[in-house]
Structure 1
């Protein structure tokens, strides 16, 4: 272990207009604490289930900060991104402008700024030998049937072996031993990098950055082309290049002000069992042979904070939802300018059910929007298209539109045998437990055109409204107490 003097390494600030001014996790947490949104659990808490249970109860109301997790000196935080409004606040925009801001950043990335190691907070303490992840870090076991402790909030960063361009993703990682982990690789960019390296008989260098600011976390989930570095999208969200530093054991660049970085390599032609694990659909994924990471170094701040995401709760769901919504909105608007807003519903685990607000001008357009949405991301299983008078962020509004504007024999679109999410348990029905990858995730898709006709007779599809219902000033009209009411009743009984 090598510890160097950190006296000169205070919090690094860039000049941007966010309410928290936060380029680091601890800046953001300080802002939340000042506004009553951090709950400190200042007593010993078990890493197996108890920590996750407490964080789940606080989900969406306060971030949970555990000072004594499992006997460790390193505290654990969870839930600091568990509301849309908080994420918009971190961006410095109104909640209604959240998707547009993310879309703009994804379209105009800023190259990262590599800084010297002496200035990188994430390398204040360096471990390169005798590594024991269980001793160094408070890694929780979350759900009842999880097969051990998992990293759930680490940004996995790797370089394309062909081009050298980095990719960032969040993958579930089961910690098997002191310096060995199994990682789930879905058929996306990191998996492509690993396959390229493996075909050449080489390991793939990776870094896992734990404890970054909310905008860098969000950027990691951008739906972008294979040679797009999500750290550059993080820079665009911050309004300035993101400071990065080169790892101590290989050439991957990581956020310089992360709390903790685990460095390693994905071994070629090595697989070990991983799972079961409680995933975002609120079901367990199966135990299967997965790729293996061999840890080569661990670096961290002098007093680091460990971040864990409780699976299937709002922090997990929103991290996936907002970048997907921004990408879906941009994709749909390219072909259908009448699309005004989109929403991945919480009931659809912020992945499978998409609600689209659309200004329909011609009959049949809504079905085209449905088909376009299915082609935009394979996770999408159900699409509901509604008119501009329907709030796509309100489940009751969507249900009302389906109840009054949809007829199944006329407005239903069903597509059989399409690629869906391999983590959707309903796609496994009728498949053997050991189904090969090319048979996993085969799904039917359903679209509902819940728009009213472009032309309709009289007021048959006119929504009932009372003039003034949205503008009446209740604060000015409603009495502060019931004195007048009580006086009337007293008089009536006199």
Structure 2
């Protein structure tokens, strides 16, 4: 008789394995141990204020160290922030080199691994049917004009009742009352699931998961078709099925090893005020009538850790940016084999500005790439296409290509009246214009006209052998005798 899923997972856990078998990012606590061992985990004094204090410290350490806050505002549950605030950290979490991160994530999106369901889950060690969010969770207030406390690192998992297909995404969630959340739902898959239910006058069952491993956190941001469950992308990134469990009050499946799970419903035909909230463009999302979640139950580990992502932080930007790069690269390559690499720049909030690297495009093909890129996702606002001698991850290189290979009358594409990001304050509620810049070398250019200067042998020089700091008596050492 074959073992149960639970027994199979327990047996696998006992089996000795090399450090390369399971990526270090497959476990939240394992990732924290890894950061601590490498000097990238900071522990604050107890009692940091949940209102602005946690965010202030996390922002000061942004990109250099993750932060753990014991007893914030005297709350018994500690807070952690800054888990993935460097591109290289995300590669470490996935167990790949930084140059392999995008291709690794792309492969995970193309070859998902179905999850495995277990009954005995750490995330359900404690169950509350009487929910008081701010008493039971240490929910910070981040930015100056935020309406109040917000859940910012919660994976909202929605399940279609007709097919059982799930979707995973992150939304800002305003604490409106002890068991009620205001939610900003942008026009993506969760909203499509909800509209289907609301047309029938029914609520949509959901779960909000706080405190997951870095790989699941990254997987939640994949841009994939509506019938793809991002939890299966997490399984592909880890190389084994993600253990999930069924919620206590509904049919939604959630990561079994999560710290917290809020079970509830998106309420049909109900909208309430939500916002403002400090968002990734470094501006506030305005207050408006928005969707509402009612929380029916709260489950968590015996000694949980609460994860928060500070609005506008590097963790916020990169978490949305790098998984999108992988999805966009895969999408563009299907239509344009000349596409070699893509990058969403930090200056473009890791959402709005896309650089695309192409290899010897045919005449006019770079402009087709621009149009294809603008159509991939409404967030994409400006697209710049460059040749393979330009590093798309280096903003100075991309700007150099625009400065020396782009002419506005010949290489500019402008699309008016397009759907954009509702969080871009320069748009009219998301309605605006988009732009593409063809900064590639013209196909008919003479060979030497756009040849970059280079010094032969420069990169092969071993500077450690031939160069050192100049001493105090440098003039004597130079021996400048005529």
Give me the TM-score of the superposition, normalised by structure 1.
0.92
Q: Which residue of 1 aligns with 2:287?
A: 287
SS state of the match for residue 93, structure 1? coil
Any conservation in 1 of the 2:166–2:229 contact (CA below 8 Å)? yes
Question: Following the alignment from structure 2 to structure 1, what is the Cα–Cα distance between the partners of residues 217 and 24?
Answer: 16
Q: Which 5+ residue runs of structure 2 have no aligned equivalent? A: 1-9
Any conservation in 2 of the 1:18–1:91 contact (CA below 8 Å)? no
**1:250 Cα deviation (Å)?**
1.2
Q: Which residue of 2 aligns with 1:477?
A: 466
**1:462 Cα deviation (Å)?**
0.8
How do residues 40-439 of structure 1 correspond to structure 2 at under 5 angstroms? Answer: 40-117=43-120, 120-129=121-130, 131-428=131-428
SS state of the match for residue 457, structure 1? coil
Q: Deviations over 1:65-94 (max 9, x none)?
A: 111211111111111101111111111111
Any conservation in 1 of the 2:416–2:434 contact (CA below 8 Å)? yes
Any conservation in 2 of the 1:182–1:293 contact (CA below 8 Å)? yes
Q: Deviations over 1:13-55 (max 9, x none)?
A: 8957268644321111111110101011123111111110110
**1:376 Cα deviation (Å)?**
1.1
Q: Which residue of 2 aligns with 1:443?
A: 432
Give me the TM-score of the superposition, normalised by structure 2.
0.94
Any conservation in 1 of the 2:332–2:369 contact (CA below 8 Å)? yes
Any conservation in 2 of the 1:63–1:80 contact (CA below 8 Å)? yes
Alpha carbons of structure 1 residues 77 and 13: separation in structure 2 relative to 1, 3 Å: farther
Q: Which 5+ residue runs of structure 1 have no aligned equivalent? A: 1-8, 429-439
**1:484 Cα deviation (Å)?**
6.5
Question: Following the alignment from structure 2 to structure 1, what is the Cα–Cα distance between the partners of residues 113 and 345?
Answer: 31
Question: Following the alignment from structure 1 to structure 2, what is the Cα–Cα distance between the partners of residues 12 and 70?
Answer: 37
Q: Which residue of 1 aligns with 2:476?
A: 487
Any conservation in 2 of the 1:20–1:31 contact (CA below 8 Å)? no
CA RMSD of aligned residues (A): 1.9
**1:347 Cα deviation (Å)?**
0.5
Any conservation in 1 of the 2:25–2:215 contact (CA below 8 Å)? no
**1:176 Cα deviation (Å)?**
1.1
Q: Which residue of 2 aligns with 1:4?
A: none
Any conservation in 2 of the 1:161–1:193 contact (CA below 8 Å)? no
Any conservation in 2 of the 1:146–1:275 contact (CA below 8 Å)? yes
Q: Deviations over 1:324-357 (max 9, x none)?
A: 1111111111111111100001011011100011
Q: Which residue of 2 aligns with 1:454?
A: 443
Question: Following the alignment from structure 1 to structure 2, what is the Cα–Cα distance between the partners of residues 68 and 386?
Answer: 50
**1:61 Cα deviation (Å)?**
0.6
SS state of the match for residue 453, structure 2? coil
Any conservation in 2 of the 1:12–1:23 contact (CA below 8 Å)? no
SS state of the match for residue 355, structure 1? strand
Question: Following the alignment from structure 2 to structure 1, what is the Cα–Cα distance between the partners of residues 309 and 13?
Answer: 25
Any conservation in 2 of the 1:173–1:184 contact (CA below 8 Å)? yes
Any conservation in 1 of the 2:405–2:439 contact (CA below 8 Å)? yes
Alpha carbons of structure 1 residues 486 and 300: separation in structure 2 relative to 1, 3 Å: farther
How do residues 11-22 of structure 1 correspond to structure 2 at under 5 angstroms? Answer: 17=20, 21-22=24-25
**1:134 Cα deviation (Å)?**
0.8
Question: Following the alignment from structure 1 to structure 2, what is the Cα–Cα distance between the partners of residues 278 and 483?
Answer: 52
Which of 26, 31, 51 is equivalent to 2:29?
A: 26
Question: Following the alignment from structure 2 to structure 1, what is the Cα–Cα distance between the partners of residues 287 and 51?
Answer: 19
Q: Which residue of 1 aligns with 2:42?
A: 39
SS state of the match for residue 42, structure 1? coil
**Mean alpha-carbon deviation: is it higher for 134-143 or for 354-363?**
354-363
Alpha carbons of structure 1 residues 166 and 361: separation in structure 2 relative to 1, 3 Å: closer
SS state of the match for residue 328, structure 2? helix
Alpha carbons of structure 1 residues 351 and 12: separation in structure 2 relative to 1, 3 Å: farther
Alpha carbons of structure 1 residues 452 and 492: separation in structure 2 relative to 1, 3 Å: closer
Any conservation in 2 of the 1:221–1:319 contact (CA below 8 Å)? yes
